[in-house]
Amino acid sequence: MKIIIVGCGKVGTTLAEELSKENHDITLIDCDEDTLQSISDSIDVMCVTGNGAVYQVQMEAGIQDADLLIATTNSDELNMLCCLIAKKAGNCQTIARIRNPEYSAEINYIREELNLSMAINPELAAAVEISRLLRFPTAIKIEPFAKGRIELLKFIVPEASVLNHMRVMDVNNRLKSNVLICAVERGEDVVIPDGNFVIQSGDKLSFIGPRGSRSEFFKKAGIENNAVKTAMFVGGGKLTYYLAKALSDTKIKIKIIEQDEERCNALSELLPHAMIIHGDGSDQQLLIEEGIRQTEAFASLTGFDEENIMLSLYAASQSKAKLITKVNRITFGNVIDSLNLGSVIYPKMITADLILQYVRAMQNSMGSNVETMYKIVAEKAEALEFRVKADAPLLGIPLMDLQLKRNLLVACINRNGNVIIPRGQDTIEAGDTVIVVTTHTGLNDLKDILL
């Protein structure tokens, strides 16, 4: 597809990199010529220097032939104007990044009036992900499939768990749980395990199953999943506001520490159910006085990556709280993964992944049948949901008889709302949605899973 991206910040650059890998024809628009040159030196994209909201600039970028325009500048208003002009000039699909909470209440009206295909809010998307984790604190990542009926969860195996030193093939027999272990991260290695793979403490284990199966699995595995009753958030920005709103229907007692007094006053009015503390979140004495040692969840959500990382490391040294660490820069991922930061949230990457999912869904009408896609580990493993068409070449054949690619697992089948954790004798039928976990990236069609 021909895709135009306006704005080459972290989201725009990440999108350009990911979409380029999937062989889309990418054109970037930005006012900063040096930034464009830097990106074009590393990835194969066309570049146009200028204001993306100017008709002539969009024409130069080829808007009349484009399938999709994505506006990801730092200005909500500019993004909306870019999409409005693109609709008139090229009649393509449009996606705008819209972050301001004042617009969030009217987002459906804005989408309808501007005819946006998608309005994406990085802070809101990150808040939804964090709220899922705080509702189920044992997991470090939760990804929904099949409209929420199926979930993929990632957690770290504790030393005391019965899973430690257990073979994958023995898990279901011994725990009697309806889940499937589909990926294991050990150090820098990512493995799609076979039945003889031996689980060890410290492994990051990803498993898939019906939504209701997760609590039972953790209980039988001897892993505590105590509900969070108290949470401390440092930083009172947009993400914290959306997160506190998302948790307003829970019984979690929320405490927010924010340095800016004016922002504290605004949050007090917007979030009457939360306790707002005016103070420096990096002040250790303040954190102790406000109960960092007793809190059951701690989220470092300031605008500075270094501060968030240091705060989470300090929280880890003082308590056993569920840790959430917000990181904006996507570089140094290996270093960050080696630290005890709990669940690391990248709002920019979440945004890019949501847009990538939309692009995959657009391709469905162009021959692809990918419904949903999540990156289990960036660049190393994906979970994809395929819709099975009537002409698929593998219908009715037992999975044990299919010649599947190595490092690939058919992890789940959703058949008319019934979730099947497949075994060797199960078959794939027309109309199913099938979830595949693999270290092969860029699969576009279900037939691509075959050798």
Q: How confident is the model at residue 366 (pLDDT cuts 50, 70, 90)?
A: very low
The string of DSSP letters for 274-315 reads SEEEES-TT-HHHHHHTTTTT-SEEEE--S-HHHHHHHHHHH
Q: What is the pLDDT of residues 387-420, one digit of tens each?
A: 888 888 888 999 999 999 988 999 999 998 889 9
Asked, for residue 357, whether it belongs to a domain, the answer is no
The residue among 341, 301, 297, 347 whose CA lies nearest residue 136 is 297
Question: Domain ends where: 120, 153, 178?
Answer: 120
Q: Which residues pair with 374 in a beta bridge?
A: 383
If asked whether residues 215 and 106 sit together in one domain, one would say no
Q: Side by side, which strands form the sheet with 93-97?
A: 46-49, 25-30, 2-6, 68-71, 93-97, 118-120
If you average pLDDT over every residue of the chain, what do you get?
Answer: 89
Asked, for residue 152, whether it belongs to a domain, the answer is yes
Q: How far is CA 401 from CA 396, 404, 426, in A?
A: 10, 9, 10
Asked, for residue 131, whether it belongs to a domain, the answer is no
Q: What is the pLDDT of residues 223-271, one digit of tens each?
A: 887 789 999 999 999 999 999 999 998 999 999 999 999 999 999 999 9
If asked whether residues 73 and 41 sit together in one domain, one would say yes
pLDDT at 298 over 60: yes
If asked whether residues 157 and 204 sit together in one domain, one would say yes
If asked whether residues 68 and 175 sit together in one domain, one would say no
If asked whether residues 288 and 259 sit together in one domain, one would say yes
If asked whether residues 31 and 72 sit together in one domain, one would say yes
pLDDT at 20 over 70: yes
Q: How confident is the model at residue 364 (pLDDT cuts 50, 70, 90)?
A: low
Of residues 234 and 355, more confidence is placed in: 234
CATH code of residue 249:
3.40.50.720
Percent of the chain with pLDDT over 70: 97
Task: At 131, give phi and psi (nearest 5°).
Answer: -65, -35
Map residue 230 onto helix, strand or coil.
strand
Q: What is the pLDDT of residues 74-88, one digit of tens each?
A: 999 999 999 999 998
Q: Which residues pair with 377 in a beta bridge?
A: 381
Quote the pLDDT of residue 145.
Answer: 84
Q: How far is CA 389 from CA 150, 193, 402, in A?
A: 20, 28, 17
If asked whether residues 324 and 243 sit together in one domain, one would say yes
**Mean pLDDT, to the nearest integer, of 205-220?**
88
CATH code of residue 406:
3.30.70.1450
If asked whether residues 20 and 108 sit together in one domain, one would say yes
If asked whether residues 86 and 196 sit together in one domain, one would say no
Asked, for residue 158, whether it belongs to a domain, the answer is yes
Determine contact, residues 177/222, Cβ cutoff 8 Å: no
Asked, for residue 18, whether it belongs to a domain, the answer is yes
- What is the number of domains present in the chain? 4
Q: What is the pLDDT of residues 161-200, one digit of tens each?
A: 999 999 999 998 888 888 899 999 998 888 999 889 999 9
Q: What is the pLDDT of residues 72-130, one digit of tens each?
A: 999 999 999 999 999 988 889 999 999 888 888 888 888 888 889 899 998 999 999 99
Q: How confident is the model at residue 378 (pLDDT cuts 50, 70, 90)?
A: low
Asked, for residue 367, whether it belongs to a domain, the answer is no
Determine if the pTM surpasses 0.75: yes
Contacts of 345 (CB under 8 A, 6+ apart): 126, 129, 130, 324, 325, 326, 327
Say how far apart CA 246 and CA 105 lie, in whole Å.
14
Domain of residue 192: give its range.
139-220
Quote the pLDDT of residue 331.
Answer: 66
Q: End-to-end distance of the chain based on CA atoms, in angstroms?
A: 26
The residue among 313, 233, 317 whose CA lies nearest residue 281 is 233
Say how far apart CA 357 and CA 370 lie, in whole Å.
9
The residue among 358, 337, 343, 261 whose CA lies nearest residue 298 is 343
C-alpha angle 35-300-133 in degrees, rounded to nearest 5:
100
Asked, for residue 439, whether it belongs to a domain, the answer is yes
Quote the pLDDT of residue 34.
Answer: 92
C-alpha angle 15-19-21 in degrees, rounded to nearest 5:
125
If asked whether residues 144 and 107 sit together in one domain, one would say no
Can you tell me which residue has the tokens 């704005």?
7
Q: How far is CA 297 from CA 254, 274, 302, in A?
A: 9, 14, 16
Query: Long-range CB contacts (< 8 A, 24+ apart) of 316-319?
Result: 316/340, 316/341, 316/342, 318/287, 318/288, 318/292, 318/293, 319/292, 319/293, 319/294, 319/295
If asked whether residues 251 and 316 sit together in one domain, one would say yes
Map residue 449 onto helix, strand or coil.
helix
If asked whether residues 162 and 260 sit together in one domain, one would say no
Asked, for residue 12, whether it belongs to a domain, the answer is yes
